[in-house]
């Protein structure tokens, strides 16, 4: 079958002879409809995030239809349209027992330490294939996974109705944080050096950061080290800085600013299984996260999708023929 694979730093190719997935007793095999491109995929493509071997199957934000079920899975799930939750915690360690599955040390991640989902068929444990709500379009469904990240971050920030917040970085994740903040009744402002991304955020109702205003909550979504300086500069007394973007490059931070203004820095890593993902599935129809989709590429042009995802505003996604053959 066909798969988009990384063959070396920056080199994405579509191969035709990728092996079919195996279907374990608790697994389902999914015919992939579409896969969203995410910042962590770009880090893999750039060689900034090491993968176990090359060639490496990319991608994790997958949706599709169940075409095979394992022996322990209800046969009536065949044909279901699903969104994949691409992080598989072990569900038996102390972190998992405490419900903090995001920090499970044995977490398997599609496209990072498990072969990714940018291929015609992928197998996942059945409990990580979430049934699409009836009537939800594929555009909204493919954005459920990054929406889960945004909703979990907004919840962790303790954002309240009427509170204003600053979102640093108006890439796909920043846009979804804006939508999640609005859904909480908060008022998001954005800052980004890229005009197109700012315009996209404005189209979703997020205002540009005004001069001189400080914010009780700041979300850093870009992962650019220098953006932390903006986040700290604009965070008001007793404010919370919520970090979603990641970089291994150290960022500069003044402890004077943090201590004098009593700032809290909160790391936000994905979401906890299963409640956070269930919430994103449930709220997708209301939040319509598919509004952030822009660049769309067929699998054959996956290399272009990755090359341009960084510059295009909104989220880039890659679609399979299966989507056109079975439109929803």
* Binding residues vs Zn ion (CB under 5 A): 38, 89-90, 93, 96, 104
Q: Name the β-bridge partners of 219.
A: 167, 242
Return the number of the residue (235 or 281) whose C-beta is nearest Zn ion.
281
User: Is 9 strand, coil or helix?
Assistant: coil
In angstroms, give the least distance from the CB of 46 to Zn ion. Answer: 15
321 CB-contact burial (10 Å; exposed 0-12 / middle 13-18 / buried 19+): middle
Return the number of the residue (87 or 230) whose C-beta is nearest Zn ion.
87
In angstroms, give the least distance from the CB of 202 to Zn ion. Answer: 24
- Cα torsion 23, 44, 7, 5 to 10°: value is 40
Closest by Cα among 247, 319, 280, 277 to 86: 277
Closest by Cα among 52, 59, 37, 33 to 120: 33
In angstroms, give the least distance from the CB of 80 to Zn ion. Answer: 22
DSSP string computed for 106-144: T-EEBTTTB--S-BSEEEEEGGGEEEPPTT--HHHHHTH
Neighbours of 278 (CB within 10 A): 14
Say if CB 269 and CB 102 are below 8 A apart. Answer: yes
In angstroms, give the least distance from the CB of 178 to Zn ion. Answer: 17
Closest by Cα among 44, 52, 48, 62 to 6: 44
Return the number of the residue (5 or 104) whose C-beta is nearest Zn ion.
104
Return the number of the residue (50 or 90) whose C-beta is nearest Zn ion.
90
In angstroms, give the least distance from the CB of 89 to Zn ion. Answer: 5
Return the number of the residue (38 or 51) whose C-beta is nearest Zn ion.
38
In angstroms, give the least distance from the CB of 253 to Zn ion. Answer: 26
Tokens of 166: 């600053």
DSSP string computed for 84-102: E--EE--SSSHHHHTT-GG
Return the number of the residue (89 or 169) whose C-beta is nearest Zn ion.
89
Return the number of the residue (74 or 90) whose C-beta is nearest Zn ion.
90
In angstroms, give the least distance from the CB of 16 to Zn ion. Answer: 26
């Amino acid at each position: 079958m066909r798969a988009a694979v990384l063959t070396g730093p920056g080199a994405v190719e579509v191969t035709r002879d990728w092996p079919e997935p195996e279907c374990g007793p608790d697994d389902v095999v999914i015919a992939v409809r579409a896969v969203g491109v995410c910042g962590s995929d770009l880090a893999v493509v750039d060689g900034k995030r090491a993968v176990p071997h090359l060639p490496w199957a990319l991608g994790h934000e997958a949706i599709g239809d169940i075409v095979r079920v394992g022996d322990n899975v209800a046969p009536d799930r065949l044909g279901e349209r699903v969104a994949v939750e691409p992080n598989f915690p072990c569900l038996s360690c102390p972190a998992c027992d405490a419900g903090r599955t995001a920090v499970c040390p044995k977490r398997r991640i599609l496209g990072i330490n498990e072969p990714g989902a940018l291929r015609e068929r992928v197998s996942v444990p059945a409990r990580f294939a979430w049934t699409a709500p009836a009537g939800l379009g594929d555009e909204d469904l493919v954005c459920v996974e990054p929406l889960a990240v945004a909703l979990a971050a907004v919840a962790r920030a303790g954002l309240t109705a009427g509170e204003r917040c600053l979102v640093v970085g108006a890439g796909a994740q920043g846009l979804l944080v804006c939508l999640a903040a609005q859904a909480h009744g908060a008022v998001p402002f954005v800052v980004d050096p890229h005009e197109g991304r700012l315009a996209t955020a404005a189209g979703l109702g997020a205002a540009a950061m005004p001069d001189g205003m400080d914010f009780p909550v700041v979300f850093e979504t870009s992962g650019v080290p220098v953006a932390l300086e903006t986040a700290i500069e604009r965070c008001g007394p007793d404010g919370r800085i919520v970090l979603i973007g990641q970089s291994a490059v150290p960022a500069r931070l003044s402890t004077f600013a943090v201590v004098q203004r009593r700032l809290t820095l909160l790391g936000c890593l994905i979401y906890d299984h299963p409640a956070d993902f269930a919430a994103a599935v449930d709220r997708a129809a209301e939040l319509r996260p598919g509004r952030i989709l822009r660049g769309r590429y067929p699998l054959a042009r996956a290399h272009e999708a990755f090359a341009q995802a960084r510059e295009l505003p909104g989220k880039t996604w890659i679609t399979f023929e299966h989507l056109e053959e079975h439109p929803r």
